Amino acid sequence: MDIVYSVLPPQFLSQVLVGLSRTTILFIVASGLSLILGVLRIPNVAHGSLYMIGAFVSYSIAKLFGGGPSSYWWALLITPFVIALISFVVERGVFQFLYEREHLMLLLLTFAFSLVFGDLVKLIWGVEYKSVPVPGAFQGFVPLFGGIPFPLYNLFLLCVGPVVALILWFIVNKTKIGKISRAAAVDREMVGAVGINVSWVFATVFVIGCLLAGLGGVLVAPTVSVTLGMDHTLIIEAFLIVIIGGLGNIWGALLGALIFGLSQSLGILLWPKFGIVIPYLAVVVVLLIKPTGLLKSTW
Amino acid sequence: MLSVNGIDTYYGLSHILFDVSIRVEKGEIVGLLGRNGAGKSTTMRSIMGLTPPKKGEIIFKGEVITGKKPYILFRKGIGYVPDDRRVFADLTVDDNLEIVYRREETWNKERVYSLFPALYEIKNRKAGFLSGGEQQMLTIARALMGSPELLLLDEPTEGLAPLIVKDLEEQILKLKEAGISILLSEQNIKSAMKLVSRAYVIDNGRIKFEGTRAELDENEEIKRRYLMV
């Protein structure tokens, strides 16, 4: 082990894991954004709001179930469906009538929604910080890499990431709705002309995408203070990830999230004062080399 | 089976079709002939509901279908094969067939593959990597998966090698034998004459001639003016 540490210091390895657990959150949210962008062609600025609402809803559900160490599991189970329901209502109520509009219109509309959602959150939950309990089994730290303590909950996140990626891969490549949505991403008119009700395909994809935003919100909740404004930071990061990965490409979102998450955590280690800038520098470098994103875009 | 009664269709502000009327009876192949830009594809798109007409009426199996959405029309039994093919490039050949809405079981993958054995050989290839002829077969196969009673074939032989055109003509005749009515648009009058029993000639968005194959064959004036024969 000492030989390994002489090449890769324990602090470095530990920061890699921190970066990867951040990657998990970023990937889950950005893949939902990318899915909606790829299939429905909506640049959904309100995606970050659903992430924030996911965090707040998980706070309320955890409180409803007593706020103890096991209450989080209920929040994890129920919140994504609450977010799915909200997005379903918004899609059927508003978005379904606007798919043919130009992108700038949709950008403004979803931005308006993000403002409305922000104010609703303020009305319902107030402006104070909220904290969500870390689930019982994952409280505390575990010594890793030369004894550096590592939060157990982050290890849990590291396991969730690949599971979500695998489920998404299965839905997109192996299920009928996945295949239909891949076809609709490229030629929605022709999908309609082979008997498929594209409107409901779009609704399903929109709900799945938003459910991912909500899931990201629940998963991040125990590691941060749940607060107003967490939507804005994340939506910017998520859009950058989707852009450097390739619009509409879920594996691009994974790659982008890896670049973003790792450069963030390692940047802090290498250059603490300016660490926060490094992911954005990475984005600039990627876009200089490949302006269309690293993987194939569906646009 | 199909009766198009005096439709007028626009793309935005430009008026494309003027008072177009077409009839297709059960089990026949009807030609819609004309030059590039004459209005053949627009007629097809109007019938399929992709570019709904602003005036006139379309009746399919005794029911007015004007203004209905394309997916509803497909579910009523109209198959559409566009001239620019539009296979789902990102999906495999097999998946292109699989995602189609199944109206009934008359046609299934097995039957479609036995009509186009070449497709079976490449069923796991992505449709975007197929040759023009293979893509054309796939778009017809895809429309067949819905067990259509009426097939709108928009210039199926366009841009294909003569040998492949010959195969395709045989397959289109087989579809007729299977009882499917076909509206076939063509620029290539020689190919169309082998298949159709009646034909319409369209030019500048207006129907200029209507008659049986023999009548068209004898009408040198129409053929010279509108079909460049």
**For residue B229, what pLDDT band results from cuts at 50, 70 and 90?**
low
Q: Residue B210 and residue B22: Cα distance in Å, rounded?
A: 9
Task: Return phi, psi of residue B126, to 5°.
Answer: -70, 135
| Average pLDDT of span B214-229 | 87
For the ranges A4-8, A112-116, B37-41, B63-67, the lowest mean pLDDT is seen at: A4-8
Is the pLDDT at A298 greater than 90? The verdict is no
Among the listed residues A260, A274, A228, the one whose alpha carbon sits nearest the alpha carbon of residue A118: A228
Is the pLDDT at A29 greater than 90? The verdict is yes
* pLDDT at site B6: 95
Sequence-ordered strand ranges (E) for chain A: 141-144, 148-151
Helices (H), A40-151: 47-64, 71-93, 103-125
**Measured between CB atoms, which of A185, A196, A298 is closest to B71?**
A196
pLDDT tens for each residue of A187-212: 999 999 999 999 999 999 999 999 99
For residue B144, what is the nearest residue in chain A, using CA coordinates? A194
The whole model's pTM is what? 0.90
CB atoms A193 and B103 under 8 Å = no
Asked if A100 reaches chain B (Cβ–Cβ under 8 Å), the answer is: no
pLDDT tens for each residue of A206-226: 999 999 999 999 999 999 999
Q: Match domain A2-289 to its CATH number in 1.10.3470, 2.20.25, 3.30.70, 3.40.50.
A: 1.10.3470
Nearest-neighbour CA in chain A from B45: distance (Å): 10
CB atoms A179 and B75 under 8 Å = no
* pLDDT at site B31: 95
Q: Looking at beta carbons, which residues of chain B come within 8 Å of A187?
A: 86, 88
**For residue B150, what pLDDT band results from cuts at 50, 70 and 90?**
very high
| Average pLDDT of span A4-16 | 81
Asked if A171 reaches chain B (Cβ–Cβ under 8 Å), the answer is: no
Is the pLDDT at B189 greater than 90? The verdict is no
pLDDT tens for each residue of A93-125: 999 898 888 889 999 999 999 999 999 999 999
Nearest-neighbour CA in chain A from B106: distance (Å): 16
Is the pLDDT at B63 greater than 70? The verdict is yes
Q: What residue spans define the domains of chain A? A: 2-289
CB atoms B88 and A190 under 8 Å = yes
| Average pLDDT of span A151-167 | 93
Tell which wins on pLDDT, A243 or A9: A243
**Angle CA(B94)–CA(B95)–CA(B97) in degrees, nearest 5?**
70
The superfamily (CATH) of domain B2-227 is: P-loop containing nucleotide triphosphate hydrolases (3.40.50.300)
Mean pLDDT computed over every residue of chain B: 94
pLDDT over 70, % of chain B: 100
* pLDDT at site A275: 81
**Measured between CB atoms, which of B71, B95, B145 is closest to A197?**
B71
Nearest-neighbour CA in chain A from B9: distance (Å): 18
* pLDDT at site A1: 66
Q: Is B17 left (phi over 0), alpha (psi -120 to 50) or beta?
A: beta
Nearest-neighbour CA in chain A from B215: distance (Å): 34
Residue owning tokens 């034909």:
B199
**Measured between CB atoms, which of A185, A190, A195 is closest to B86?**
A190
* pLDDT at site B228: 78
- Enter the tokens of residue B44: 């097809």
Q: Is A41 left (phi over 0), alpha (psi -120 to 50) or beta?
A: left
CB atoms A183 and B48 under 8 Å = no
A 195-254 residues inside an 8 A Cβ radius of B: 195-198
CB atoms A194 and B90 under 8 Å = no
| Average pLDDT of span B3-23 | 95
pLDDT tens for each residue of B97-117: 999 999 999 999 999 999 999
Q: Looking at beta carbons, which residues of chain A come within 8 Å of B86?
A: 187, 190
pLDDT over 90, % of chain B: 83
* pLDDT at site A205: 96
Nearest-neighbour CA in chain A from B46: distance (Å): 12
Q: Residue A27 and residue A20: Cα distance in Å, rounded?
A: 10
**For residue B11, what pLDDT band results from cuts at 50, 70 and 90?**
very high
Is the pLDDT at A143 greater than 90? The verdict is no
